[in-house]
Amino acid sequence: MARMPIRKTLRTAAVDDAEQIADVLARAFDDDPMMAWFFPDAASRAEGLARYFATIFTRRYGRYGVCERTDAGVSFWVSPEGQDKAVPDAETLRELEDILGDRAGLFREAVAAAAEHGPKEPHWYLAVVGADPAARGRGHGAALLRSGPARADAAGLPVYLESSKESNLPFYEHFGFTVLAEARLPHGGPAVWAMRRAPRTPDAV
């Protein structure tokens, strides 16, 4: 029997998509060093990640960001105007801390460190991008990575992201991102790479 094709057509993610989005991102980030640090129990990691991504999507990025998806991938972008609102509020932090359990303190410190060292110039921010490992190499990540920079270019603004997986750096570099800095999360946590993509004019694309 022929396998059904997995479409990489980009579309806006709706709140009703939360469960599927959370499942895709849980699979995408299962081997991510930072997420493995936050969810060290491999047996329960998938459930914890799904709850984590469902929470940040429904409570923050789905409300104040630009969330897009394909059949097998998801991205959360935040415009300059939405960044203050997209930061987790007290209620969202409490929900995330409940999900993270005894790793909640590490999470709080990581969030605080990221906020302290975040870019000061106006920018678009790529908060999350991930594709189901079963569909990697089929163009889902590439499709998801094009729309945010296009919006940023139209406004003459850079794009920032943090990668917590070193093997992903060449992929981002292919799309014009350069590494600004490498930092370690507190208490012996994994490395995180801050990356920036300069705005491009139509002639430079």
Name the residue among 36, 65, 180 with its Cα closest to residue 129.
65
Please give the pLDDT value at position 2: 43
Q: Which stretch, 116-125, 129-138, 169-178, has highest mean pLDDT? A: 169-178
Instruction: Tell me what pLDDT residue 203 has.
Output: 59
In angstroms, the Cα distances linking 60 to 71, 89, 101, 132 are 22, 9, 20, 22
Q: At what angle do helices 42-56 and 18-28 cross, to 10 degrees?
A: 130
State the pLDDT at residue 202: 65
Q: What is the mean pLDDT of the chain?
A: 91
Would you state the pLDDT for residue 6?
A: 59
Q: pLDDT band for position 5 (50/70/90)?
A: low
pTM metric for this prediction = 0.91
pLDDT score of 4: 43
Please provide the CATH number assigned to the domain covering 11-204: 3.40.630.30
3 falls in which pLDDT band (50, 70, 90)?
Answer: very low
Q: What is the pLDDT of residue 196?
A: 97
- Whether the per-residue pLDDT at 113 is higher than 80: the answer is no
Whole-number percent of the chain with pLDDT over 90: 75
Instruction: Count how many Cα atoms sit within 13 Å of the Cα of residue 161 in the half-sphere of its side chain.
Output: 25
**pLDDT average, residue stretch 134-159:** 92
